[in-house]
């Protein structure tokens, strides 16, 4: 029995397989087919894939025709889905909340679709956690992007011509992206402070050598929701937080925001009035821009000029580190998919009752099955 694995591209700079993981899938008995040019933007050529043992085909339809397993970065378009074999298992980040009928198309094609971003954040699934691997890179890149726009230096420097002070960097939201931004800013020599609404972050921020700034009242002490995520804070808390942030931000050179609450619009943490108190040439990076933004005036994918040479960078250019982002994403995918394969056959052997499968599986046997998206089966 041959287990066919197809890899698609949708114009993202990342790719869902690397030569390293091609070899691993082949070692499990898979035959890998890659859509031509899929790795180009990540610095992986078609011949790199061929050397690793994959076959390269010109288009997506040819890639998926016989595929039992399909790997992608983003959700493939409807035409490609309709070209898939019924029963094929598709793994990608699916953006299921904004699917606009795509779940119905996947169900209609008989595809078993898995949304990698719904992977539960439990110890067993750590190596499969695409949100963490990509958020960590986004946090790193946010500091690099800010430094590139900033007209001064990050580290304190003593020169023959005098001493240059360290830049003051404030990180708002100390989850995966925020903690990596703090660590990166510290490595580059900045003086770093950070805030979050989850008490657990206080120690994490301090252990990275940054100063923790927060309104630590009773509500803060009870703020962590299930799964370690933040809760939406009360209007009273938000007002106290805004007052504290306003006083702090006026002394900052760079502000990096990463604050999110699952299923909600991003909290607005930095107002235009606060930006106006910052020094000329300051830089803000809003990693929450796609979810409405933490910073007033940020726009997805743009660098907004907020006057007085102040820049607001909407998003982190993770696309500029496609090679590393692909390498981690491909390993996350392999970690999950390899647990769904019976190596003796080799073939897919999915345990539909497994927690990781149930949490990520959107469609199966012609129906939408995920309860969060209208699925009937538990
Ligand atoms: P996220 O991207 O959902 O949010 C980013 C941060 O913003 C969070 O730390 C959140 O508390 C913070 N935030 C929300 N509202 C805020 C506000 N008003 N002001 C300031 N900060 C605010 O979070 P994430 O990076 O995905 O991580 C969330 C949690 O999941 C953390 O506890 C993390 O340790 C945990 N996690 C666990 C695993 C695992 O066990 N496998 C993996 C990854 C993350």
pLDDT of residue 230: 83
Q: What is the mean pLDDT of residues 255-277?
A: 93
pLDDT of residue 378: 47
pLDDT at residue 331 is higher than 50: yes
For the CA of 126, the nearest atom of ligand 1 = 41
Find the helix packing angle between 130-149 and 176-187, rounded to 10°: 40
* Mutate which of 193, 201, 224, 259 for ligand 1 pocket (most atoms within 8 A of beta carbon): 259
Distance 121 CA to ligand 1 centre (A): 11
Q: Is the bond into 346 cis (omega within 30 degrees of 0)?
A: yes
Distance CA 236, CA 234 (A): 5
Judge whether 126 counts as a catalytic residue.
yes
pLDDT at residue 190 is higher than 80: yes
On whether the 152-308 domain is CATH 3.40.50.720, my answer is yes
pLDDT at residue 375 is higher than 90: no
Distance 189 CA to ligand 1 centre (A): 25
ipTM: 0.92
Distance 176 CA to ligand 1 centre (A): 6
Q: Which of 35, 112, 132, 133 is catalytic?
A: 132
Q: Is the CB of 174 under 6 A from ligand 1?
A: yes
Distance CA 302, CA 311 (A): 10
Distance 291 CA to ligand 1 centre (A): 14
Percent of the chain with pLDDT over 90: 89
Place of tokens 């061929």: 50
Provide the pairing of β-strand 361-364 with 283-286.
unpaired
Q: Which of 45, 126, 127, 207 is catalytic?
A: 126
Q: DSSP H helical segments within the chain, as ranges?
A: 19-27, 46-52, 60-64, 78-82, 102-108, 130-149, 176-187, 200-207, 218-221, 235-249, 272-276, 322-337, 355-360
**What does CATH list as the number for 3-128+321-365?**
3.40.50.720
Q: Is the CB of 149 under 6 A from ligand 1?
A: no
Place of tokens 């929450």: 288
Q: What is the mean pLDDT of residues 305-327?
A: 93
* Mutate which of 176, 235, 261, 355 for ligand 1 pocket (most atoms within 8 A of beta carbon): 176
Burial degree of 253 (CB within 10 A; 0-12, 13-18, 19+): buried
62-102, pLDDT tens digit by residue?
999 999 999 999 999 999 999 999 999 999 999 998 888 99
pLDDT of residue 35: 97
Q: Which of 10, 82, 152, 229 is catalytic?
A: 229
pLDDT at residue 348 is higher than 50: yes
Q: What is the mean pLDDT of residues 237-246?
A: 93
Judge whether 329 counts as a catalytic residue.
no
Percent of the chain with pLDDT over 70: 98
152-185, pLDDT tens digit by residue?
999 999 999 999 999 999 999 999 999 999 999 9
Q: Is the CB of 196 under 6 A from ligand 1?
A: yes
Distance 151 CA to ligand 1 centre (A): 31
Radius of gyration of the chain, Cα coordinates, nearest whole angstrom:
23
Find the helix packing angle between 200-207 and 176-187, rounded to 10°: 20
Q: Is the CB of 259 under 6 A from ligand 1?
A: yes
Distance 75 CA to ligand 1 centre (A): 25
Q: Which of 121, 152, 268, 299 is catalytic?
A: 121
Q: Is the CB of 228 under 6 A from ligand 1?
A: yes
Judge whether 129 counts as a catalytic residue.
yes
pLDDT at residue 110 is higher than 70: yes
Domain ranges of the chain: 3-128+321-365, 152-308
pLDDT at residue 377 is higher than 70: no
When pLDDT is cut at 50, 70 and 90, the band that residue 226 belongs to is: low
Distance CA 7, CA 17 (A): 7
Q: Is the pLDDT higher at 317 or at 301?
A: 301
Nearest CA to ligand 1 atom 27: 175
Distance CA 52, CA 330 (A): 15
pLDDT of residue 305: 97
Distance CA 378, CA 372 (A): 10
Judge whether 234 counts as a catalytic residue.
no
Q: Whole-number mean pLDDT of the chain? A: 95
For every residue of 301-328, DSSP letters joined together read T-EEE-STT-EEEES--GGGGHHHHHHH
Judge whether 229 counts as a catalytic residue.
yes
Distance CA 135, CA 68 (A): 30
pLDDT at residue 261 is higher than 80: yes
Sheet of strand 367-368, all strands in order from the earlier edge strand to the far edge: 55-57, 30-35, 3-7, 69-74, 89-93, 112-115, 361-364, 367-368
Q: Is 85 helix (H, G, I), strand (E, B) or coil?
A: coil
Distance 226 CA to ligand 1 centre (A): 11
pLDDT at residue 8 is higher than 70: yes
Among 132, 94, 25, CA closest to 361? 94
Q: Is the CB of 260 under 6 A from ligand 1?
A: yes
């Amino acid at each position: 029995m041959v287990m066919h694995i197809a890899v698609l591209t949708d114009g993202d700079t990342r790719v869902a397989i690397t030569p390293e993981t091609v070899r691993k899938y082949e070692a499990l008995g898979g035959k890998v087919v890659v859509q031509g040019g899929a790795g180009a933007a990540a610095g992986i050529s078609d011949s790199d894939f061929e050397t690793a043992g994959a076959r390269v085909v010109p288009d997506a339809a040819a890639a998926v025709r016989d595929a039992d397993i399909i790997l992608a970065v983003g959700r493939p378009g409807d035409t490609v889905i309709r070209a898939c074999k019924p029963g094929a298992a598709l793994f990608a980040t699916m953006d299921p909340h904004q699917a606009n009928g795509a779940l119905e198309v996947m169900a209609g094609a008989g595809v078993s679709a898995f949304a990698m971003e719904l992977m539960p954040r439990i110890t067993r699934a750590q190596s499969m956690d695409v949100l963490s691997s990509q958020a960590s890179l986004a946090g790193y890149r946010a500091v690099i992007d800010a430094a590139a726009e900033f007209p001064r230096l990050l580290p304190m420097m003593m020169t023959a011509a005098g001493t240059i002070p360290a830049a003051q960097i404030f990180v708002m939201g100390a989850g995966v992206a925020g903690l990596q931004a703090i660590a990166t800013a510290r490595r580059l020599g900045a003086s770093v402070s950070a805030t979050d609404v989850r008490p657990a972050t206080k120690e994490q921020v301090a252990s990275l050598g940054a100063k923790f700034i927060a309104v630590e009242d009773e509500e803060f002490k009870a703020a962590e929701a299930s799964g370690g995520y933040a809760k939406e804070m009360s209007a009273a808390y938000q007002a106290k937080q805004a007052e504290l942030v306003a006083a702090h931000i006026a002394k900052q050179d760079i502000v990096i925001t990463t604050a999110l609450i699952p299923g909600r619009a991003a909290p607005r943490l930095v107002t235009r009035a606060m930006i106006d108190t910052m020094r000329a040439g300051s830089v803000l990076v809003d990693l929450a821009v796609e979810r409405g933004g933490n910073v007033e005036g940020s726009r997805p994918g743009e660098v907004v000029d907020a006057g007085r040479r102040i820049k607001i960078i909407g998003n982190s250019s993770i696309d500029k580190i496609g090679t590393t982002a692909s390498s981690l994403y491909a390993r996350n995918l392999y970690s999950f998919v390899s647990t769904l394969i019976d190596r003796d056959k080799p073939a897919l052997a999915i345990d539909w009752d497994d927690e990781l499968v149930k949490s990520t599986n959107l469609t199966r046997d012609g129906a939408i099955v995920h309860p969060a998206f209208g699925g009937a089966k538990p």
